[in-house]
Amino acid sequence: MALINPVVDLTLAHVSDAETRGFSELMVKAYVPAGVDPAEPSLSPLLAEVPPSHPPTFIAIGESDPWRPEQELYAEKLSAAQIDLEIYRAPTSHLGPDGAAATPLALPTLTATALAIRDAFTP
């Protein structure tokens, strides 16, 4: 599993600043159907039990990403569950000004992710 700057807790319990909270609330409204609890494990894996069958995981964590605290907690949770885990610490926040576009700012994170995926499938 490869996660790039993931949001892993849609309850917003770890969102501290108003701008990020506002964006997060919009994201929850856009992606979580009415009546569905954002704490549902498939939406907020930080709050879920880690199954023994959890796949090896690569997480790219942006140093200045507003969701970094919950990403760090999720990485700690996977590590405590003895999941094969690789963490890439990106020197920036996101993948660049265009989101996931392959800008020069995004290339280190995208390269690290591609190498982790390649290595996962190379015997």
pLDDT digits (tens, 9 = 90+) for 9-42: 999 998 888 888 898 899 899 999 999 999 999 9
Rounded alpha-carbon distances, angstroms, from residue 55 to 3, 12, 86, 97: 12, 25, 12, 31
Which residue from 95, 53, 45, 94 is spatially nearest to 74, judged by alpha carbons?
45
pLDDT of amino acid 97? 46
What class does CATH assign to 2-120? alpha beta
90 CB burial (10 A radius; 0-12, 13-18, 19+): buried
Residue with the two structure tokens 């964006």:
23
- Any bridge partners for residue 85, and if so which? 57
Rounded alpha-carbon distances, angstroms, from residue 85 to 6, 26, 80, 116: 15, 30, 10, 10
* Residue ranges per structural domain of the chain: 2-120
Which tokens sit at 46? 């930080």
**pTM passes above 0.85:** no
pLDDT of amino acid 62? 85
Question: What average pLDDT does this structure show over 63-81?
Answer: 92
In whole angstroms, give the CA distance from residue 15 to residue 24. Answer: 8
